[in-house]
Amino acid sequence: KQEVTQIPAALSVPEGENLVLNCSFTDSAIYNLQWFRQDPGKGLTSLLLIQSSQREQTSGRLNASLDKSSGRSTLYIAASQPGDSATYLCAVPGYGGSQGNLIFGKGTKLSVKP
Amino acid sequence: GAGVSQTPSNKVTEKGKYVELRCDPISGHTALYWYRQSLGQGPEFLIYFQGTGAADDSGLPNDRFFAVRPEGSVSTLKIQRTERGDSAMYLCASSGRGDTQYFGPGTRLTVL
């Protein structure tokens, strides 16, 4: 059974700092991995999707890497800003397919202090 | 273009009542998903539609929960005899030809 774990559960950093969020999964037979952002009381915003054949994806100040063999992904945020404060979730398809249900971690709650 | 929309945004009901939650996916998306999220947890899968049919309903917790998508676009999640433990954020997502799931703003359900 696939399980997704995110460390740390919460993180507080001063504005301008570079930071790394971690995601690990137990079954390496995944088709892709997706990172989301969730603001309090809101839905999820897709940030990046990495296919299993890719090692990283970049969007602006965000860079996500994927190491399937070790069951890990990292989300790197450069030059953090107060507007980056949110909960960041990673998710993988539940039964190895490319579509179908996603299995989520509990998220990392990020607070960027001005 | 328009994203996924969900109505109502908030629903307060009494224990034992029936509720319906609606999801409008992105136009043209054939896949539609329902998830439930409790405070401090990640979303948990409920049901997945491909077109009009439920491709996977293994996440529905019991027979009080039911979902339909009769014309392959709008979906309704129906909860009978609501219980306090059903209180959560209910999220809907849709996807098209790619793998990315696009989420709506959610419906916050509170059962008193």
3-state SS record for chain B: CCCCEEECCEEEECCCCCEEEEEECCCCCCEEEEEEECCCCCCEEEEEEECCEEEECCCCCCCCEEEECCCCCCEEEEECCCCHHHCEEEEEEEECCCCCCEECCCEEEEEC
Our CA-based measurement puts residue A50 at a distance from the nearest CA of chain B, in whole angstroms, of: 10
Our CA-based measurement puts residue B88 at a distance from the nearest CA of chain A, in whole angstroms, of: 11
- Specify the residue for token string 């460390």: A7
- Say whether pLDDT at A3 is over 70: yes
Average pLDDT over all residues of chain A: 93
Predicted local confidence at residue B100, as pLDDT:
87
Residue-wise pLDDT for A61-102, tens only, equals 999 999 999 999 999 999 999 999 999 999 998 874 556 789
Predicted local confidence at residue B1, as pLDDT:
57
Between the alpha carbon of residue B30 and those of residues A26, A89, A93, the distances in Å are 29, 24, 17
- Specify the residue for token string 């953090």: A80
- How confident is the model over B78-104, as a mean pLDDT? 93
Our CA-based measurement puts residue B17 at a distance from the nearest CA of chain A, in whole angstroms, of: 24
Residue-wise pLDDT for A14-36, tens only, equals 999 999 999 999 988 888 999 99
Between chains, do B100 and A49 touch, taking CB under 8 Å as contact? yes
Chain B nearest-CA residue for A39: B105
User: Which pLDDT band holds residue A1 (cuts at 50, 70, 90)?
Assistant: confident
Give the span between the Cα atoms of A92 and B109, in whole angstroms. 26
Beta carbons within 10 angstroms of residue A98's beta carbon: 13
Give the span between the Cα atoms of A29 and A52, in whole angstroms. 9
Within an 8 Å CB–CB cutoff, is residue B82 touching chain A?
Answer: no
Within an 8 Å CB–CB cutoff, is residue B56 touching chain A?
Answer: yes
- Say whether pLDDT at B24 is over 90: yes
In the DSSP assignment, the letter for residue A84 is G
Predicted local confidence at residue A98, as pLDDT:
53
Beta carbons within 10 angstroms of residue B80's beta carbon: 13
